[in-house]
Structure formats: C-alpha cells, structure tokens
Amino acid sequence: MSRIVKIGNVEIGGKSPLVLISGPCVIEGEEITYQTALFLKELTQRLNIPFIFKSSYDKANRTSKDSYRGPGLKEGLRILKSIKEALKIPVISDVHCVQEVELAAQVLDIIQIPAFLCRQTDLIYAVADTGLPVNVKKGQFLAPWDVEYIIEKITSRGNENILVTERGSCFGYNNLVVDFRSLVIMRQFGYPVVFDATHSVQLPGGKGRTSGGQREFVPYLARAAVAIGIDALFMEVHKVPEEALCDGPNAWPLEKLEELLRIILNIEKVIRDV
C-alpha cells in the first residue's frame, strides 16, 4: 500500500478513493477553461470522485514552432489561480525550467514534471524544494524501475509528497504502448501511482507537424489500469476535441466522460472488495 499524499483537501494513496486529475491539455482562454473546470467539479461532486483540475499555461514541447503553446507563465497562472479560488478546487500544471518554479509554486497545489524532463536533476530539485506535492510523468524512454532514481532525487531534498505517472512508452516511431506491469512495479516504491489514459494513446508526431492520437482506446486502457490498481486517473478532456488547440486527437470528449467514470467506479468497487 502506498503512502498518502495530501493535495489541498484531496488525499491520494493508501486506501483513499480513486482520484480524477483532469482538464484541457492547455489553457485556451479564461472562459472556456473556467467552464471546463466547473463542468468537471459538478460532475465529480455528483459521482463523489475526488478531483484535481489540470491545465497547462505553456506547452513547451510542441512538435512545431507554429503550434499553440498557451497563454504563458504569468497569464496562465493568473487564470489557474482565479479558477482555484472561485471553484475551491486544487490545481496542477507542469513546469519546464527552474526559472518557472518559484512563481508556479505560489499558485499550484501540485507541480508536474513533464515526461521529457523527468531526468532533469536541477528542475526536479527546484520543484522538490518547494515542499509541494510533485507528480512525475515517467518518460516514454524509461523503464518503470528507473523511476526509483527520480524518487530518490526528490526525497533527498526532504520531500516525500510524490506521485508517479505512467503515460506509455516509445514503441517504434510515432507510437506508444502501455506495459501494465509498470503500474505494479512502480507501486513497489511506496508512492501513489497515476495512470494517464489520454497521453497513453497519443501518436507523437503522428500527423507530421502535430501529434496524432487514438482516443477510441482511452476507455479500454483506463478500465484496465483501474482493474490492476491505481490511485489516480489522469485524463485530458475537451468539449470539442476536434477543435482543441493541443492534443485533440487523444483528448476525451466531455459529453462522454460521465458514462466512462461510472464504469470506472464500478470496477474500482469490485477491486476494493477483493
């Protein structure tokens, strides 16, 4: 059993209920981001699912220089702070360099280390030093047992508030595959394990200047991960995925989210009763 990590009024790990970490990939504007957060809050309250809102103020790892990245650090954090305070929900976003961390820590309840940066020691130290919970996305290039050394970097700074997230591994070119053994292996390190059901179906660079995705497989991977045993489910969502400015092909439609979450809750109940 993993330790419990507290994020605002949400507990992840131990015997705590499954947590949903969800939101649009990137902040596309204040109103649409707020409305998405409100929809998710109301839905998760109705289903009694603990919820953390996720959206990025900057996507610094886009395929093309012409791709939309977001509103940037200061404006993005302002929007996230406004949503956090208005809806009284914890928020998470990712940081990409040491210089961002101080400002991000003033707003975020949990800081995310992007998969491509999960071995950047100075960035990990800077995030760990905030004392805030840290969500580490396992790099597409890492074996699950290599995550132990990332955890050691964080704990060496006196921070034990750690989540580790599976988001698929490189499988040839422009494709990812999920090895579900990783969820079992990473749980052995004693920290809550998260499964990213939407990035796991991404096809990196699969459309040339942008990434593709196979969102039709999101429900199957999510259900499998919950059946194996995870502490939180990470899903990027959008009202109209085809119009999303980032990662639309692997985003899950808001209108289909409740149906999927109800199935997830049924699976979780069976697992808890075993």
Please report the pLDDT score of residue 274 as a whole number: 66
**CA distances to 94, 101, 104, 124, 128 from 112, in Å:** 4, 10, 10, 10, 11
In order of start, what are the domains of the chain with their CATH numbers? 5-273 (3.20.20.70)
Q: What percent of the chain has pLDDT over 70?
A: 100
pLDDT for 208 beyond 80: no
- Please state the rounded mean pLDDT for residues 107-111: 98
Please report the pLDDT score of residue 60 as a whole number: 85
- Please state the rounded mean pLDDT for residues 217-226: 98
Contact 22, 10 (CB under 8 A): no
Q: Determine the Cα–Cα distance for residues 3 and 12; give it in Å rounded to an integer.
A: 8
Amino acid occupying residue 248: G
pLDDT for 148 beyond 90: yes
Using one digit for the tens of pLDDT, what is the confidence trace for 72-83?
999 999 999 999
Q: What percent of the chain has pLDDT over 90?
A: 89
- Please state the rounded mean pLDDT for residues 13-19: 96
- To the nearest whole number, what is the mean pLDDT of the chain? 95
Confidence band of 45 (pLDDT split at 50, 70, 90): very high
Please report the pLDDT score of residue 63 as a whole number: 79
Contact 156, 124 (CB under 8 A): no
- The reported pTM is 0.96
